Amino acid sequence: MSLTGSEKPQRKTRIQRANEQKILEAALDVFSRNGFRGSTIDQISEAAGMSKPNLLYYFKSKQAIHETLLARLLESWLDPMKELDPEGDPLEEILNYVRRKIEMTRDFPRESRLFANEIIQGAPRIKPILEGEINALLETKAKIMTKWMDEGKIKRVDPKHLIFSIWATTQHYADFDVQVRLVLGENIDNPDQFEKTKAYLENLFTSLLKID
C-alpha cells in the first residue's frame, strides 16, 4: 500500500534507518496531538532532537513524513479485518476482530488518533485508498457476514454498520482518551480497565449477534 507512488528502493545504512525511525516516532507524537495542519517541521525536528536541515535530508517535507506514517498505519490497521475467516465460527470470528481492534487501540493510541485526524480533515492524503482498497475489503467482509446471516448463524444486522460500530466503540478509547480518563479516572492502559472494556465490548456484540 503506497501513498506516494513507486520509487526505486535504495539500500540504507543502519544509522540512516535509525534516524528515519527517530523522526517517524517524533512525528507520530506531534501529528497525533496537533493533526497535520497544526504540526510543523520545526516541532518534529525539536521532538526528534535533530536540526531541521538534518531532518529534511531524510524526508523532503512534512507531507512526506505524514504519508509514510499513514502508509505504515494502514498496513497494520487492516490486518485484523483481513484475518476474518469465512470458514470460522461467525460469532467467534467477529468477537476476535473486536478483541484485536481494542488491543490495537490500547497498544497504538497515537496511530489511532493520527488516522482520526486524517479522516476529520476529509482524508486528503488517503482518500484514494479509502475509495479503493479499503472499500473493496469492506465489501468482501460484509458479504461474508451477510452469508452468515443468510445461513442463520448470527442475527441479521447491516454488516457495514456493524463494522462501523466496531471501529467506533474500540477506537473511541484512543481517540477520546482525555474524556475516558476524566470520566473513569484511568484509561485502558490499566490492565484491569482493559479487561473490563474488552469484556463489555464482547458482551455488547454477543448480545447483538447471537442467535437465541
Sorted by where each begins, the domain ranges of the chain are 14-72, 78-209
CA distance linking residue 135 with residue 106, whole number of Å: 25
Four-way CATH pick for 78-209: 3.10.450.50, 1.10.357.10, 2.40.50.1070, 3.30.565.10: 1.10.357.10
CA atoms within 13 A on the CB side of 108: 19
Per-residue model confidence as pLDDT tens digits over 58-83 = 999 999 999 999 988 888 888 999 99
Per-residue model confidence as pLDDT tens digits over 114-159 = 999 889 889 888 888 888 989 999 999 999 999 999 999 999 999 9
CA distance linking residue 66 with residue 26, whole number of Å: 11
Four-way CATH pick for 14-72: 3.40.605.10, 1.10.10.60, 3.40.50.12280, 3.10.420.10: 1.10.10.60
pTM equals: 0.85
